[in-house]
Amino acid sequence: MDPANAHSFGIALMGLSLGAAILVWIVAFLIAAFFLYLGAKMVGIHNATVGKSFIAIVGGGILAAITAAVLFFLPGINVIVALIVYIWVVKAVFDTGWLRAFVALLLAGIIEVVVYGTAVLLVRGLV
């Protein structure tokens, strides 16, 4: 293979890999948003939509990561503060109270574990 063509092929492959990675991230965020939507509806947040859930997942994740990174010198406390920031984002996006936001996130996590756990068991043939 001609070296110029090999270089072009490598760049094209890298671009394809980057595109696939971005697509996987978007799908993962959409799945997480759907679980948050379900949790919000179960808690009684009436104005919950998948779009708002997507904003809460992405915005909460970014702000929580920044908070944890800024407070890296306070191990343990940085995680607690980051969780509070994440709950605050959910609270703000859904225009609800602290308790409903926390329980919606908690239910989303529980639903996620149950769904993924069931999927793993189905794939392995144990259910």
pLDDT tens, 74-98? 999 999 999 999 999 999 999 999 9
pLDDT at 50: 96
CA dist 124 → 112, 114, 115, 117, 118 (Å)? 18, 15, 14, 11, 10
pLDDT at 2: 54
- Sorted by where each begins, the domain ranges of the chain are 32-124
Cα–Cα distance, 64 to 18 (Å, whole number): 25
Q: What is the pTM of this model?
A: 0.83
Q: How many CB atoms lie within 10 A of CB 61?
A: 15
pLDDT tens, 106-126? 999 999 999 999 999 999 876
